Structure 1
């Protein structure tokens, strides 16, 4: 069994395992950190961005490079449509993939890069919320980039990386970066997804069974259990033991695996989600009291549901009930509506509200009372009429490279009364703000990541008791500034680690397989006792292997199913093999000597040794060597050898 790592981001994994001649991809996360190297895409032309000076590396005068790079306060950016770092496509041929298993909607952003234009013929499995909310994420991303197109595409800068300043010079293989897919490609990729439910067992070509179980991270998020007849592999990605709105993690199904693959741990191990949520509410209230507005760059689903609930409650308790909240996203309507019809994927507390009946999420109540107002875009009908300040605006994209958030940063950036609060952990907030410097508005970093931290992961691993553990290299090697006894790694056991581009041989070998025996064959067996508690029997039958299933069938069923046109019919296999018998056990030497005497060979002398004996037939000039594993007859007379062989076989039991 081998594992291939195709992603450089442990929080957005893309792994492939080869097992029983099948290739299974575990998640297809897309690293969007590359977008931070590009200038933002404003919805309306920005005089500030247009006036940024061009950058040319020292001692270089390349007209093809002219205009591709811009300098903003000492930081160099690429002036082009953003590009993304897709999973490696040189390690595994995507056309050979049999199955793709998606853990949650944050780990499927690279799906179109893998399934479209690559010859992919496999099947993609995901839960219904993962597919639908993932669709929201993907459609929003595509629309963000399509609504602010760039006239030119910059490519020449990739040929001069060694001459560029940090961080461009340290960019990870920018020649492999790709522009985002279009709407048509996205629709084709999503049409390949087959919906599965929790604890539903799916047969994979008869060789494996895969089953999603709740991971507790977000709506519809799954861990995957992959089993064969004698092996069990558990894949844990994007899991949480906290009590939030999703259904809690199912640990029982993951226990006692032969192999545990873990990924998608927290990106902010030093920040407690509850503390960060409290800080966010405090910073928002202080900014609003001072007359400023608050921008919260976010994704269209996930933690934003909890932010609506907690922030509205805090503002009510702070006497700021009149402050409006705006949720702006191309998929805002769908996201808010869909979250209220997912009872079976929610925690028991949220489920109980559905049957009262009440909406499981408070944002439905906030929308009804016009406290939370949602729009597709800032230029959507009614937005300019409803918009008033001070307010709280939730919009994308958290990278601040595209989407409506770019407009609000440009509009509010010069006013110190306003604030931007970063809650998504995917992007370093200082990097996100770099192209907007100098910035007067306040910036607060309150990352909320509910996935497992390292202490929780270590406890979970001890509870699950896997035979072997595999994890990304950053989870095994502590950061350089970490204390000697770091809590920022997986510890207390040997861990097999991997990184992008690695091919890792996993400590899981196939030793057994399951065989199904036809009732007729089973009824014909005559087991013989070899020793107390151990019986054996020979089988004369037909072994067939089809769709990775092994079956032992009676010979006559196979032989009678085929007729021959020729008059000369060959004997069936059953007739050929019917008379075959097998001898077993050690030779009883004394009984053998008595049998020889009965056949007229009376001069046998036995010389016993530590490993067996030698029987000497002096008159026939023959030696018979007997040991624990074999018997050898040494004679120049072929007729005598056959006679001695027959006498010897009469001394052995057979079946």
Structure 2
């Protein structure tokens, strides 16, 4: 089994070659902080060889039309219903933003988004791509081939977020996408399908080491909003129209219900569809929200806010200002990267008023860089990141529960960067990148013990700064179920070479035939081996003056041939 990143980053996609199948998990255009990733330099031949694509969430679907509509890809694609529908909306929004950018004003072009410097798909391409995706439910078992199947389970990160478990007759591989153990609106992380794999492939990344607790961030957001409303200001919160916004609106509806003269707004070309669609996805929500549906209530409070007129959706800021009242506004507006979307003109419009507030909630490494294009800015800017991905501690606790034989992480996890803890290349934590990592079968690896006498004679060889290896030449001895490597000295005076040379080939072939193993064929190989073939049983016997090798997949045949050779040597000794 081979594992490599598909693109420069693991979040763009992970390519897994498993049971003679080529599988692509995820294909994204954006990083976790919604910055555009470098466009994938697709290898067309490689795309044509992909048998299956599995999409884990609606953040990691954005590059899919580039594969399905611009190459000769003929494989199958699987994703959950929320991933497909929210993914469709986000891709439609991206196309809308590019069209607006191409005819946009100077302030849009100053906030240049590099993703618009590349060819992009159309609405027609998106619809054609979506039609090719097959729906999958949690717990559903998909049979990919006679020997291989895959199981979908909740990742706990968003509505429809999925981890994938691949199984065949001798291996179990788990693909862990963006995952979370936070108590949010979505179905919680399902652990059981992930347990005891041969390999755990991590792609989703780990939360920033300096991220606040989600509850702490929520409290600070509420506090800042209440302070701003008290001073008759407006609040801008750059965010996508799906995902964590559902939890923020749920929280704000409770804590600001007694405050008058304010209203909530979501501005995005997809806001109306996204918020209304979230109300029919109770199957993918946590148990508490499912119970609300059984009680004939809206599953999430944002749906109630829409019904009661507390929350308004707008296609654009032009639409918002046409209907704006004199009251203060709390506005959720696209795009969280601040380099595209209506958030750009809105910040420029309100940035000089100190009564207004800008609350950044998307995790990022550099807030100052995000705000460079808006300087000078006098509004109250606050950074309260909400990152529900696994923390370092949660990640390690999860690995202990899952109990994998190997953990494969992207190369970035091994570099001292924003992570508080890095992972050593120690046999459990292994790294993969653009170069393929080959996962071997540990069942074929055996432990051998060396004698003290032999160990004293060995000198280490340097592999790299952190690795030494030793070369051993000795005799393998099997005793009481253990393997020992012993010095050759005990055998140096023996006449084994003579005995091998004295083997009568015709006599050996006759004994094999007499034993009921069929006719034999004798050949001489280029490397000076004598080869006796047993065509009936697809076995062969190779030997020269120093070694004997029996090659067969049938252990019973191996034992019978071994007994024949053993008897020959016993006769020599007698």
- The two structures have a TM-score, normalised by structure 2, of 0.72
- The aligned counterpart of 1:5 is 5
Shift of 1:478: 2.9
Change (3 A) 1:114 1:292: same
- The two structures have a TM-score, normalised by structure 1, of 0.64
The Cα offsets for residues 389-414 of structure 1, whole Å up to 9 and x where unpaired, read as 42101110111222111121121122
Tell me, yes or no, if the aligned pair for 1:4 and 1:15 is still in contact at 8 Å.
yes
Shift of 1:492: 8.5
**Match for residue 251 of structure 2 among 304, 307, 310:** 310
* SS of alignment partner, residue 226 of structure 1: strand
Tell me, yes or no, if the aligned pair for 1:298 and 1:423 is still in contact at 8 Å.
yes
Q: Tell me how far apart the structure 1 counterparts of residues 383 and 427 of structure 2 sit (CA, whole Å).
A: 34
Change (3 A) 1:32 1:245: closer
- The aligned counterpart of 1:194 is 134
Tell me, yes or no, if the aligned pair for 1:458 and 1:490 is still in contact at 8 Å.
no
The Cα offsets for residues 47-74 of structure 1, whole Å up to 9 and x where unpaired, read as xxxxxxxxxxxxxxxxxxxxxxxxxxxx
Q: Tell me how far apart the structure 1 counterparts of residues 178 and 34 of structure 2 sit (CA, whole Å).
A: 23
Which residues of 2 match residues 416-565 of structure 1 at below 5 A? 416-425=354-363, 428-479=366-417, 486-487=420-421, 494-499=428-433, 501-508=434-441
Shift of 1:372: 0.8
Tell me, yes or no, if the aligned pair for 2:33 and 2:364 is still in contact at 8 Å.
no
Contiguous gaps of at least 5 residues in structure 1: 37-82, 153-167, 512-579, 584-625, 634-655
Q: Tell me how far apart the structure 2 counterparts of residues 33 and 87 of structure 1 sit (CA, whole Å).
A: 17
Q: Tell me how far apart the structure 2 counterparts of residues 463 and 130 of structure 1 sit (CA, whole Å).
A: 27
Tell me, yes or no, if the aligned pair for 2:32 and 2:363 is still in contact at 8 Å.
no
Out of 244-253 and 347-356, give the one that drifted further: 244-253
Change (3 A) 1:145 1:389: farther
Does 2:276 correspond to 1:342?
no
Q: Tell me how far apart the structure 1 counterparts of residues 285 and 242 of structure 2 sit (CA, whole Å).
A: 14
Q: What is the alpha-carbon root mean square deviation over aligned residues?
A: 3.2
Which residues of 2 match residues 212-291 of structure 1 at below 5 A? 212-271=152-211, 272-291=213-232
Contiguous gaps of at least 5 residues in structure 2: 106-111, 445-514, 519-561, 570-574
Change (3 A) 1:128 1:426: farther
Shift of 1:627: 6.6
**Match for residue 296 of structure 1 among 237, 243, 255:** 237
Change (3 A) 1:488 1:495: closer
Q: Tell me how far apart the structure 2 counterparts of residues 269 and 115 of structure 1 sit (CA, whole Å).
A: 37
Tell me, yes or no, if the aligned pair for 1:86 and 1:177 is still in contact at 8 Å.
no
**Match for residue 415 of structure 1 among 341, 353, 356:** 353
Does 2:131 correspond to 1:178?
no
Tell me, yes or no, if the aligned pair for 2:406 and 2:427 is still in contact at 8 Å.
no
Shift of 1:255: 0.4
* SS of alignment partner, residue 148 of structure 1: helix
The Cα offsets for residues 477-500 of structure 1, whole Å up to 9 and x where unpaired, read as 3328x7xxx44658997311123x
Tell me, yes or no, if the aligned pair for 1:399 and 1:427 is still in contact at 8 Å.
no
Change (3 A) 1:388 1:404: farther
The Cα offsets for residues 133-184 of structure 1, whole Å up to 9 and x where unpaired, read as 11111111211221231589xxxxxxxxxxxxxxx9xx9xx89972432222
The Cα offsets for residues 98-119 of structure 1, whole Å up to 9 and x where unpaired, read as 1011111111111122222121
Does 2:565 correspond to 1:629?
yes
Does 2:20 correspond to 1:21?
yes
Q: Tell me how far apart the structure 1 counterparts of residues 34 and 159 of structure 2 sit (CA, whole Å).
A: 27
**Which structure has the bigger radius of gyration?**
1
Shift of 1:228: 0.6
Tell me, yes or no, if the aligned pair for 1:454 and 1:490 is still in contact at 8 Å.
no
Change (3 A) 1:105 1:397: same
Q: Tell me how far apart the structure 1 counterparts of residues 34 and 222 of structure 2 sit (CA, whole Å).
A: 29
Q: Tell me how far apart the structure 1 counterparts of residues 440 and 127 of structure 2 sit (CA, whole Å).
A: 39
Which is helix-richer, 1 or 2?
A: 2
Change (3 A) 1:323 1:450: same
Tell me, yes or no, if the aligned pair for 1:33 and 1:427 is still in contact at 8 Å.
no
Change (3 A) 1:266 1:313: farther
